[in-house]
Amino acid sequence: MRHAHTVEQVRAAEAELMARLPEGTLMQRAAAGLAATCARLLPRVYGSRVVVLAGSGDNGGDALYAGARLARRGAAVSALLLAPERVHTGGLAALRAAGGRVTTDQGEFSRADLVLDGIVGIGGRGGLRPEAQPYAAAERRGVVVAVDVPSGVDPDSGAVPGAALRADVTVCFGTYKPGLLVDPGASYAGIVQLVDIGLALPGAGVTALQHDDLAGMLPVPTVESDKYRRGVVGVAAGSARYPGAALLAVAGALRGGAGAVRYVGTAAEEVVRRFPEVLVTEGGPAGAGRVQAWVVGPGGGDGAARALEEALASPVPVLVDADGLTELARLGPAALAGRTAPTLLTPHTGEAARLLAGATAQAPPAADELAAARLASARRLAAEYRATVLLKGSTTVVAEPTGEVRVNPTGTSWLATAGSGDVLAGLAGSLLAAGLGTLDAASAAAYLHGLGGREAAAGGGPVTALDVAARLGSAWRVVRG
Ligand SMILES: NC(=O)C1=CN([C@@H]2O[C@H](COP(=O)(O)OP(=O)(O)OC[C@H]3O[C@@H](n4cnc5c(N)ncnc54)[C@H](O)[C@@H]3O)[C@@H](O)[C@H]2O)[C@@H](O)CC1
Ligand SMILES: [K+]
């Protein structure tokens, strides 16, 4: 599991540790880790051209001390100072003492083998200032290593309010920052490496799963398992207008670990023709047999309102997607107030905007505003509806009403394809039926779905939702090692 902490949490932990250590110790730890990574990235340090972009704070100090370490190993290191009168004096003195120099030739940035972005770190706010902006657009031939955070990315939210420096590698100190894991910030960070500087941190509000976490989380049948013990997932999806959504949701549900899939709705005939192993019932959830979790809404059309009402009245976990969400936005959070089992909502940004409007009786926020503030939007929705919220997008995030968030590290932009959300809904519902809690089911589903999407798009090509569903089995095998 990757753990991310806010700037406020990092500052508190740093203050506590700095009070016990000789001055400068933390910065030396940071600079040593940073220089070691840079040395690994260069074919050879001796003779390499390294440029340090140094801003006015400690982030610039880290970069200058790391530059000094590389200079001592024979690199030709020059520093471009963004605010010469406020540069970190100790860092600059160390660089000079090691044979580094200051330059004002911005062309050195483009010619360098490696650039250290120490313009601004966790103290940065409001995007890059004018003097730094040319570097975001400038040509570069070398590797760009961001110090702690790519400059221009908001460390807490991942928002990129203007220009930002795109890094190949980000070396962060003490902990991940949420903005390194959530788009658009994540897309500027490249490969993120963590350097331990000894901070004692509180529980993380934002986490990201890794393969090992999935391996420990996914349900595995035992010798005593039968299909009912493994869980039956009910899928209420599809309509005369959108029969395909039923097939896609079922295709996802069949690969989520539940022992059986029960389909209710108007596409029963098509579903059985394609998936003979599915139990089908005409009508709605209320009249169906036993299920351990419901998926309601994909392609539900006019039938979504009834299906939603009946599923929400059941005592089992319910995942609400697509047309079910449109109906829920109309009803508002009160529709979930009487529930005894957890509810999982899986909106894309447009649906999230409608849900928020339904909760607050205000005009819906613009979808691009929601996309730029993914963490805050998902948290707010989860709090308003007292439900777990999986907000789909370039980084899918899952938020609990408590504010706890998991961000999904897998995925590909090729997943933005029709029907891919139906597969995800079926998959997550199946994991719920198999007994996972909403946070785990949602985040594990997003992870597997992202891996399936990547595999389907291998080499970079369009994928269909059924391609993704077909790769979910292999995604399970990958994470289970
Ligand atoms: N505090 C500590 O104990 C440690 C801090 N470390 C480093 O220190 C960084 C934080 O240092 P600071 O608190 O000095 O803050 P930063 O160096 O991140 O930035 C603050 C400085 O940048 C200016 N600034 C703010 N927004 C800007 C923008 N948008 N464009 C350009 N300049 C801007 C401010 O005027 C201020 O001078 C961390 O990210 C990390 O790199 C590490 O050395 C580890 C230890
Ligand atoms: K930086």
Q: Is the CB of 132 under 6 A from ligand 1?
A: yes
The first and second tokens of residue 281, run together, are: 């019932």
What is the rounded CA–CA span in Å between residue 464 and residue 88? 52
Which homologous superfamily does the CATH classification assign to the domain defined by 2-207?
YjeF N-terminal domain (3.40.50.10260)
- Average pLDDT of the residues in 15-42: 97
Instruction: Tell me which residue of 239, 192, 248 sits closest to 425, measured CA to CA.
Output: 248
> Whose C-alpha lies nearest to ligand 1, atom 27?
124
pLDDT at residue 318, as a whole number: 98
Closest atom of ligand 1 to CA, residue 174: 44
pLDDT at 369 over 80: no
Q: Binding residue per annotation — 408?
A: no
Find out whether 196 is annotated in a ligand binding site. Answer: no
3-state secondary structure of 80: strand
pLDDT of 418 > 80? The answer is yes
Give the residue carrying structure tokens 């929400």.
312
Banded pLDDT at 181 (limits 50, 70, 90): very high
Q: Is the CB of 65 under 6 A from ligand 1?
A: no
Distance 151 CA to ligand 1 centre (A): 10
Q: Does ligand 1 come within 6 angstroms of the Cβ of 56?
A: yes
Percentage with pLDDT > 90 across the chain: 87
Q: Would the pLDDT of 265 be above 80?
A: yes
φ, ψ (nearest 5 deg) of residue 336:
-100, -5
Q: What is the mean pLDDT of residues 246-257?
A: 96
The pair phi, psi for residue 207, each rounded to 5°, is -135, 165
152 carries a ligand binding annotation: no
Q: Whose CA is nearest to atom 17 of ligand 1?
A: 57
Delimit the CATH 3.40.1190.20 region(s) of the chain.
Answer: 211-479
CA atoms of 320 and 236, how far apart (whole Å): 10
Q: Does residue 365 surpass a pLDDT of 80?
A: no
Write down the CATH number for the domain with range 211-479. 3.40.1190.20
* Interface confidence (ipTM) of the complex: 0.96
Predicted confidence (pLDDT) at residue 366 exceeds the cutoff of 90: no
pTM of the predicted structure, to 2 decimals: 0.94
Residue 334 has pLDDT above 80, yes or no: yes
Residue with tokens 């801003």: 55
The whole-number average pLDDT for the span 382-411 is 96
According to CATH, where is 3.40.50.10260 located in the chain? 2-207
Is the pLDDT score of 215 beyond 90?
yes
| Residue tagged 């389909």 (tokens) | 263
**Structure token pair of residue 131:** 């003097």
Q: Rounded to whole angstroms, how far apart are CA atoms 64 and 467?
A: 49
Is residue 48 part of an annotated ligand binding site? no
Check residues 413 and 321 and name the one with the higher pLDDT. 321
